[in-house]
Amino acid sequence: MKIALDVLGGDNAPLSTIEGAFSYLDDQGDSAAELILLGDKAQIESTIQELSRDKDDITIHHTTEIIGMNERSSRIFREKPDSSLVKSIQLVRDGEAQAAVSAGNTGALLASSLFMIGKIPGILRPAFAPYIPTDNGGFILCDAGANADTKPQHLVQFALMACAYMEHLGNHPNPRVALLNIGLEENKGNELTINTYPMLKSHISNFIGNIESRYLLDGKADIVICDGFTGNIVLKLTEGIISHLMGWIQKGIESHVINKDASSICQPIFDEINTTLDHEEHGATPLLGINGVIMKCHGSTSARGIKNSLIATQKTVQENLIADIVEILSKHTDIIDNSTKLSEANPV
Amino acid sequence: MKIALDVLGGDNAPLSTIEGAFSYLDDQGDSAAELILLGDKAQIESTIQELSRDKDDITIHHTTEIIGMNERSSRIFREKPDSSLVKSIQLVRDGEAQAAVSAGNTGALLASSLFMIGKIPGILRPAFAPYIPTDNGGFILCDAGANADTKPQHLVQFALMACAYMEHLGNHPNPRVALLNIGLEENKGNELTINTYPMLKSHISNFIGNIESRYLLDGKADIVICDGFTGNIVLKLTEGIISHLMGWIQKGIESHVINKDASSICQPIFDEINTTLDHEEHGATPLLGINGVIMKCHGSTSARGIKNSLIATQKTVQENLIADIVEILSKHTDIIDNSTKLSEANPV
């Protein structure tokens, strides 16, 4: 198996990406996949030297273009065809790698994957499904930002794909699926959630109903379904509040003269919480619905995050997540049939 | 001035509501408004006795019906016309009180106010605009749940009403208004936010652009505008995460034997944070756009929250928020004209 690794995406690239790649090779030994590192060849080689590693352990694929901060993600594959992000996806398309891993811009990764590889046949929209860790076991949030505007049939497919993915994550059969909503009752919500509820009820075996955002961290659901706008708001708000509150408490402890010992006393507790909440533990998540294994790492991922992402990627390819999504979809083709009927009845 | 106070709404009613009413009278002395307490007369009288207070200081308006947990809020005014919530609104409609205060169900309060009092002329939709306190000064979130599905022109009116309200809250001229979105650029977001951005830009003098949920607590905006579905998710998620994380830290401190002193050492910091985040400080918020002063308290409000809510209510009436909303709207009538043109061009 070959995995294409975009070394230029992410806040700590390329150093931590390359460090993570070697850490993965150390960890997996003989069972490791072959790694193709994409980026500037000279920069990759000098980083490898800096890390006192052997460049013969990996393959370097030289790319010449850099993706800037302000570029439109929907045009990257046209405007930066020789960037490490786009080339990584191209290798998967051409069968030269079985998966690609990137910590680059989610929108660019998604748009390029859609254009160059396309969707799994039958899938209406791809979705971004990160794992949100909590002290109660965590959950998958789907969609967390791939689609800003969605329809009920999209959300039902997101739920089916997330179920297939959750079962891959570990021995988690029949995950509990909830619909993110502003009330518990079936008739509560906006037009989208009110129309989605009965469809989830009929298509998802372990649909547990609506969940209010107040209880998201309480471990009641394994998969939380929502549109990508709401999911992205939830994802970033969760990260923002936790980081804000932890900083606030630590500042408070430091500023109280009387509590000069409290900082060291509380440190193990903060460390424990930070470890639990750490997205690095989980590694990358696949862009669900793309007809190839394209894995997205958190933008601020560290070497450890890259290592865990590569492990997750290898597992996703070996266990053939895409075949499982195809299989689960084949049992629910009426979602699309109904959706076709719907669009025929209401032509835009 | 007379204020109608629904003593039956809220988790701690009627005890804390009645306690809060007397606390308000103590606090405001001769300048206090007259209070009309609505609920079961015998229960109110026995609670007043329990608190060793004088029932002659207030007026009791006996009501006979109780609103249950599972009733449809949109029907309360028809099905429970003699409930304390509905009667409070009726007193305002009939001019027997200048404002009503309730910690009851937001949906029921809104639907009943809409039906019995109606909207300020020119307002398309009313909005719920709670104040979210932070260590950076806090902000108004509007709409936080009155409307699950909205259009751009609604959001622009929410912004105008929230500006009028923010200026009432204290010396806060020209508040910074931001649009909650999933990206900073003007072209980012869902259909609603993409179409709302240029309208806010042209109608709101201090529109500072999009804000991402990650930075909501950082004090960058005084008013954050969004649809009621997203706002409600944000409101409840913020409360949920903060309470979850604080509990988690305190549990951690208690469970570390080595840290048996840490609990008492950290307590002042937690107390400080809890005081800052306390919605009780701020009291109730008006249902913006209703043609009468109807104030909503937090469901879990305490006696102190009720006292502060009554102070805020008195101020809202005295400073004539509704007249200010009418005035600000008169300068932006083209929002409605455009909206009429829009609906004529695209008949449903």
Residue-level pLDDT at A347 = 39
Residue with tokens 């009468």, as numbered in its chain = B292
Interface test with A, best of B180, B218, B225, B245 (most A CBs within 10 A): B245
Instruction: Chain B: give the shortest CA distance to residue A226, in Å.
Output: 11
Alpha helices per DSSP H over A127-190: 152-169
Find the mean pLDDT for residues A253-267.
64
Sign of CA dihedral B166, B170, B173, B175: negative
Mutation for A interface: B229, B279, B348, most A CBs within 10 A: B229
The pLDDT > 90 percentage for chain A reads 69
CA A237 from chain centre, in angstroms, equals: 16
Helices (H), chain A: 15-28, 41-50, 76-79, 84-93, 106-116, 152-169, 191-203, 228-255, 262-277, 303-318, 321-330, 334-345
Q: How far apart, in Å, do the first and last CA atoms of chain B sit? A: 45
For residue B5, the cross-strand partners are: B37, B101
Give the per-residue pLDDT at A5.
98
Q: Residues A117, A294: contact at Cβ < 8 Å?
A: yes
Q: Name the amino acid, one letter, at A63.
A: T
Work out the pLDDT band at A265, boundaries 50, 70, 90: low
What is d(CA A160, CA A200) in angstroms, rounded to the nearest whole number? Answer: 9
CB neighbours of residue A296 within 10 Å: 26
Q: How many CB pairs under 8 A join A and B?
A: 153
- Residues of chain A with Cβ-Cβ distance to B239 below 8 Å are 214
The verdict on a CB contact (< 8 Å) between A249 and B256 is no
Q: Which of B34, B36, B261, B238 is nearest to B130 (CA)?
A: B238
pLDDT of residue A348: 33
Residues comprising chain B, all counted: 348
How far is Cα A136 from Cα A131, in angstroms, rounded to an integer? Answer: 13
pLDDT of residue B261: 62
pLDDT band at A9 (very low <50, low <70, confident <90, very high): confident
How close B52 gets to chain A, by Cα (Å)? 38
Task: List chain B residues with CB under 8 Å of A217.
Answer: 240-241, 244
User: Which of A33-47, A185-199, A251-265, B82-96 has the weakest average pLDDT?
Assistant: A251-265
Closest residue on chain B to A149 (Cα): B190
In this structure, how many other beta carbons lie within 10 angstroms of the beta carbon of residue B83?
A: 25
Which residues in chain A touch residue B227, judged by CB atoms under 8 angstroms apart? Answer: 190
Tokens of B194: 């993409």
Among chain A residues, CA nearest to B252: A269
- The answer to whether B253 contacts A266, with C-beta atoms less than 8 Å apart, is yes
CA distance B36 to chain A (A): 32
Task: Look at residue A299 in the predicted model and tell me its pLDDT.
Answer: 83
B315 vs B24: CA distance, rounded Å: 13
Residue A259 has pLDDT above 60, yes or no: no
Mark yes or no for CB contact B256/A262 under 8 Å: no
- pLDDT tens column, B5-18: 999 988 888 999 99
Q: Which of B118, B119, B124, B114 is nearest to B339 (CA)?
A: B124
Strand order in the sheet with A285-288: A59-62, A34-39, A2-6, A99-102, A293-296, A285-288, A127-128
CA-to-CA distance for A286 and A74, rounded, in angstroms?
19
**Cβ-nearest to B269 among A148, A242, A253:** A253
Domains and CATH numbers, chain A: 1-123+289-331 (3.40.718.10), 125-279 (3.40.718.10)
Q: How confident is the model at residue A342 (pLDDT cuts 50, 70, 90)?
A: very low
How many Å apart are CA A131 and CA A305, to the nearest integer?
Answer: 13
Please spell the DSSP secondary structure of B55-74, one letter per residue.
GGGSEEEE--B---TT--GG
**Residue A187 C-alpha from the chain's centroid:** 31
- Over residues A94-105, mean pLDDT: 96
State the Cα–Cα distance between residues B254 and B215, nearest whole angstrom.
31
B229 vs A189: CB contact, 8 Å cut-off?
yes
- A239 → chain B, closest CA residue: B214
CB contact under 8 A, A269 and B249: yes
Q: Residues A281-290: pLDDT tens digits?
A: 777 889 999 9
Query: In whole angstroms, how far apart are CA A134 and each of A175, A270, A281?
Result: 16, 14, 12
Would you call A266 and B244 a contact, using CB atoms and an 8 Å cutoff? no
Q: For residues A220-238, give the mean pLDDT.
A: 96
Residues in chain A: 348
Backbone angles phi, psi at B131, to 5 degrees: -95, 125
Q: How confident is the model at residue A137 (pLDDT cuts 50, 70, 90)?
A: confident
How many whole angstroms separate alpha carbon A178 and alpha carbon A159? 9
Block residue for tokens 């079962």 = A167
Q: For chain B, which residues score pLDDT lower than 50?
A: 342-348
Mutate to test the interface with B, among A141, A181, A249, A272 (most CBs of B within 10 A): A249
The predicted pLDDT at position A346 comes to: 42
pTM of the model: 0.91
Interface predicted TM-score (ipTM): 0.90
pLDDT of residue B348: 34
Question: Given this model, what pLDDT does residue A162 score?
Answer: 96
Q: CB B241 to CB A242 under 8 A?
A: yes
Which has the closest alpha carbon to A113: A284, A309, A231, A288? A288
* Ramachandran sector of residue A248 (left: φ over 0; alpha: ψ -120 to 50; beta: rest): alpha
Q: Provide the pLDDT confidence category of residue A337 given band limits of 50, 70 and 90.
A: low
- CB atoms B213 and A229 under 8 Å: no
Q: Between B78 and A262, whose confidence is greater? A: B78
3-state secondary structure of B189: coil
Question: Nearest C-alpha of chain A: how many angstroms from B299?
Answer: 14
Q: Look at residue A111 in the predicted model and tell me its pLDDT.
A: 95
pLDDT at residue number B347: 39
pLDDT of residue A344: 45
Is A245 in contact with B212 (Cβ distance < 8 A)?
Answer: no
Burial (CB count within 10 angstroms: exposed 0-12, middle 13-18, buried 19+), residue B207: buried
Closest residue in B to A272 (Cα–Cα): B252
> Lowest-pLDDT range, A42-51, A182-191, B188-197?
A182-191
User: A-chain residues within 8 Å CB-CB of B258?
Assistant: 265
- Residue A280 CA from chain centroid, whole number: 12
- With 60 as the cut, is the pLDDT of residue A211 above it? yes
A-chain residues near B256 (CB < 8 A): 268-269
